[in-house]
């Protein structure tokens, strides 16, 4: 491949197709990781794409369309707090103001790109003839292991709502205020946490998490006058997620009213679900079936570069089983046999798309 680094620091490998008018298929994933990460979240998708190109070259298979392998520069958003930096640049949706965002050490995105040696060529692929974007990625969850399947075709990337929930009652002495006269905010929060769990259990595909909670002022001998929690709700169907959030808010209000407390509910973030392209997804599924692996379809609960690329072109994703569903951790691992299945699927996908385009 002809290789370059674009203006957003993405590594781009280009394999020309036999028909210059047939457009370009994008493959890849991200090269950055979280801190103290595993080896597979991101890089596996880049290396798998390179392997597929190598196989095409070795077997002298020429596809009508060009294949570009993208290694995105910054997906996790750890340094600048801006996820999908590389892929948003490729999609042409990166706000110019993002270049002036500074990391904790004061270095801006612009300065970091210059220091890294980003190339002169603009990252945006907007306006080009593109066939789509396909990303291979580890599942980062335990479902494939539980189903006993090596790979899954991703149906959608779940939308998410985040909120901060605060119950306010009255602090008091833990020894002198009788139980019947208390307005204990932590007890309301405890009710709410279990209501969140019950709501998610009652709706297929819904996941809801209270990941941070605190009782204030936070002393063993003081009745909590306030209690604060984060809420994270995800589902592949926006209507289901929005309905669940509405119902949880009503439930929180009822819990507060029942204990004579005040409720504050602040929605901090809401991102819509991203559907994968039916045509590309069908080609991936056909490649899975041809290899004899079970047909498993999964929504992705985590975000990926495909979210950003979906604003540019048709997208599809293939998940690979990872041990114990462990990710964002040095223990992250994949079985080479599963990777072999995934490579076979990606190769089958490319050849099928080639036949369709040719
Ligand atoms: Zn990733």
Q: Which of 125, 133, 103, 124 is nearest to 115 (CA)?
A: 103
Distance between Cα 239 and ligand 1 center (Å): 26
Distance between Cα 154 and ligand 1 center (Å): 14
Q: What pLDDT, in 10s, does the model give residues 91-128?
A: 999 989 999 999 999 999 999 999 999 999 999 999 99
Distance between Cα 140 and ligand 1 center (Å): 8
Q: Which of 48, 50, 10 is nearest to 31 (CA)?
A: 10
Q: Round to whole Å and give the CA distance between 172 and 174.
A: 6
Q: How confident is the model at residue 41 (pLDDT cuts 50, 70, 90)?
A: very high
pLDDT at 269: 87
pLDDT at 82: 84
Distance between Cα 348 and ligand 1 center (Å): 23
Distance between Cα 95 and ligand 1 center (Å): 22
DSSP state of 18: S
Distance between Cα 84 and ligand 1 center (Å): 10
Per-residue pLDDT at 358 exceeds 80: no
How far CA 110 is from CA of 12, 113, 180, in Å, comes to 19, 5, 60
Distance between Cα 45 and ligand 1 center (Å): 9
The b/e string for 320-350 (b: 16+ C-beta within 10 A; e otherwise) is: bbbbebbbeeeebbbeeebbebbbbbbbbbb
Distance between Cα 113 and ligand 1 center (Å): 21
pLDDT at 15: 97
Distance between Cα 315 and ligand 1 center (Å): 15
Distance between Cα 111 and ligand 1 center (Å): 24
Other Cβ atoms within 10 Å of 25 Cβ, number:
26
Residues in the chain, total: 358
Q: How confident is the model at residue 180 (pLDDT cuts 50, 70, 90)?
A: very high
Q: How confident is the model at residue 357 (pLDDT cuts 50, 70, 90)?
A: confident
Distance between Cα 32 and ligand 1 center (Å): 8
> Is there a contact between 257 and 143 (Cβ–Cβ < 8 Å)?
no
Q: What pLDDT, in 10s, does the model give residues 285-304?
A: 999 999 999 999 999 999 99
> Is there a contact between 227 and 166 (Cβ–Cβ < 8 Å)?
yes
52 HSE (CA, 13 A, CB side): 33
Dihedral sign (CA 102, 105, 107, 112) = negative
Whole-number average pLDDT of the chain: 96
Distance between Cα 137 and ligand 1 center (Å): 7
List of residues 6+ apart from 134 with CB closer than 8 A: 25, 26, 27, 280, 284, 315, 316, 317, 318, 346, 349
Distance between Cα 138 and ligand 1 center (Å): 8
Distance between Cα 74 and ligand 1 center (Å): 10
The packing angle between helices 336-357 and 43-58, to 10°, is 60
Mean pLDDT of 69-75: 97
pLDDT at 133: 98
Q: How confident is the model at residue 81 (pLDDT cuts 50, 70, 90)?
A: confident
Distance between Cα 28 and ligand 1 center (Å): 11
Task: Record the tokens describing residue 347, joined without a space.
Answer: 């190769």
pLDDT at 325: 92
Distance between Cα 83 and ligand 1 center (Å): 11
Beta pairing partners, 256: none
Task: Record the tokens describing residue 99, joined without a space.
Answer: 């270049």
Q: How confident is the model at residue 276 (pLDDT cuts 50, 70, 90)?
A: very high
User: Which class for 229: exposed (0-12), middle (13-18), buried (19 or more C-beta within 10 A)?
Assistant: buried
Q: What pLDDT, in 10s, does the model give residues 341-352?
A: 999 999 999 999
Q: Which of 207, 200, 205, 216 is nearest to 251 (CA)?
A: 200
User: Alpha helices of the chain — where are they, by DSSP H?
Assistant: 43-58, 85-91, 109-116, 143-147, 185-201, 238-258, 278-291, 305-309, 336-357
Q: Round to whole Å and give the CA distance between 318 and 151.
A: 7
pLDDT at 236: 95
Distance between Cα 316 and ligand 1 center (Å): 15
Strands 24-30 and 130-138: parallel
Other Cβ atoms within 10 Å of 303 Cβ, number:
20
Per-residue pLDDT at 241 exceeds 90: yes
List of residues 6+ apart from 186 with CB closer than 8 A: 215, 224, 227
Distance between Cα 41 and ligand 1 center (Å): 5
Distance between Cα 34 and ligand 1 center (Å): 9
Per-residue pLDDT at 337 exceeds 80: yes
**Cα 43 to chain center, whole Å?**
15
């Amino acid at each position: 491949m002809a290789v370059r680094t674009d203006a957003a620091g993405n590594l781009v490998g280009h394999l020309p197709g036999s028909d210059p008018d047939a457009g370009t298929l994008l493959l890849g994933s991200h090269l950055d990781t979280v801190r103290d990460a595993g080896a597979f979240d991101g890089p596996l998708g880049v290396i798998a794409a390179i392997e597929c190109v190598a196989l095409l070259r070795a077997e002298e298979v020429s596809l009508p369309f060009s294949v570009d392998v993208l290694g995105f520069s910054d997906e996790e958003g750890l340094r600048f707090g801006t996820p999908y930096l590389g892929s948003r640049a490729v999609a042409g949706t990166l706000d110019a103001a993002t270049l002036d965002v500074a990391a904790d050490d004061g270095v801006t995105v612009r300065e970091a790109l210059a220091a890294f040696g980003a190339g002169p060529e603009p990252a945006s692929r907007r306006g080009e003839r593109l066939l789509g974007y396909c990303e291979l990625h580890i599942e980062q969850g335990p479902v494939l292991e539980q189903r006993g399947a090596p790979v899954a075709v991703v149906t959608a990337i779940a939308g998410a709502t985040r909120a901060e929930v605060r119950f306010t009652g009255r602090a008091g002495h833990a020894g002198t205020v009788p139980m019947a006269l208390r307005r204990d905010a932590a007890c309301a929060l405890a009710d709410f946490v279990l209501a969140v769990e019950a709501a998610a259990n009652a709706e297929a595909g819904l996941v809801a998490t209270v990941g941070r909670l605190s009782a204030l002022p936070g002393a063993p001998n003081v009745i909590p006058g306030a209690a604060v929690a984060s809420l994270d709700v995800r589902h592949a169907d926006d209507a289901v997620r929005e309905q669940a959030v509405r119902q949880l808010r009503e439930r929180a209000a009822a819990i507060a009213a029942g204990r004579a407390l005040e409720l504050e509910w602040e929605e901090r973030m809401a991102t819509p679900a991203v559907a994968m392209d039916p045509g590309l997804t069908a080609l991936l599924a056909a490649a899975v079936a041809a290899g004899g692996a079970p047909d498993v379809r999964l929504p992705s609960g985590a975000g990926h570069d495909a979210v950003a690329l979906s604003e540019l072109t048709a997208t599809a994703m293939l998940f690979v089983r990872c041990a114990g569903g462990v990710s964002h951790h040095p223990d992250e691992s994949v079985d080479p046999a599963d990777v072999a299945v995934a490579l076979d699927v990606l190769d089958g996908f490319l050849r099928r798309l080639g036949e369709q385009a040719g």
